[in-house]
Amino acid sequence: MVSPEGFPVCSSCGLVAQELIFDWSTPPDGDVKGRIYLGGWEEGSIITNPPLGGSRVSERLVKLNIRVKYGGGRSADREVFRELTVICKALGLPREVCEHAFIIYRKLVRVLRDVVAGRRVTHFKVAAAALALSSRSEGRPIPPLKIAKAFRARGHLVSPSDIMEIVHLARRRGGVPRYTTRDMLRLCAAVLAKLGVKVDEAVVRDAEEVLHAVPRHYVSGRDPHLLALAALYLVLKRRGVSISYYRLARITRRATSSVRANVKLLEKLLHMREVAVALS
Residue ranges binding DNA (CB under 7 A): 143, 145-146, 221-223, 226, 244-247, 254-258, 260-262
Local structure of 122: helix, strand or coil: coil
Q: Please identify, using beta-carbon distances, which residue of 69 and 156 lies nearer to DNA.
A: 156
Q: Give the single-character DSSP code of 215.
A: -
State in angstroms the smallest separation of the CB of 137 from DNA: 16
Q: Please identify, using beta-carbon distances, which residue of 161 and 244 lies nearer to DNA.
A: 244
Q: Please identify, using beta-carbon distances, which residue of 17 and 88 lies nearer to DNA.
A: 88
Q: Please identify, using beta-carbon distances, which residue of 161 and 257 lies nearer to DNA.
A: 257
Burial of 120 by CB count in 10 Å (0-12 exposed, 13-18 middle, 19+ buried)?
exposed
Burial of 38 by CB count in 10 Å (0-12 exposed, 13-18 middle, 19+ buried)?
middle
State in angstroms the smallest separation of the CB of 159 from DNA: 12
State in angstroms the smallest separation of the CB of 259 from DNA: 7
State in angstroms the smallest separation of the CB of 109 from DNA: 26
State in angstroms the smallest separation of the CB of 55 from DNA: 33
- Other CB atoms within a 10 A radius of the CB of residue 104 amount to 23
Q: Please identify, using beta-carbon distances, which residue of 43 and 267 lies nearer to DNA.
A: 267
What CA–CA distance (Å, rounded) separates 226 from 187?
12
Sequence letter at residue 180: T
Q: Please identify, using beta-carbon distances, which residue of 48 and 159 lies nearer to DNA.
A: 159
Report whether 263 contacts 188 (CB < 8 A). Answer: no
Sequence letter at residue 33: K
Q: Between vectors from CA 66 to CA 61 and to CA 72, what angle results, nearest 5°?
A: 110
State in angstroms the smallest separation of the CB of 22 from DNA: 16
Q: Which residues of 168-180 are buried (b: 16+ CB within 10 A; e: fewer)?
A: ebbeeeebbeebe
Of 191, 260, 272, give the one whose Cα is nearest residue 227. Answer: 260
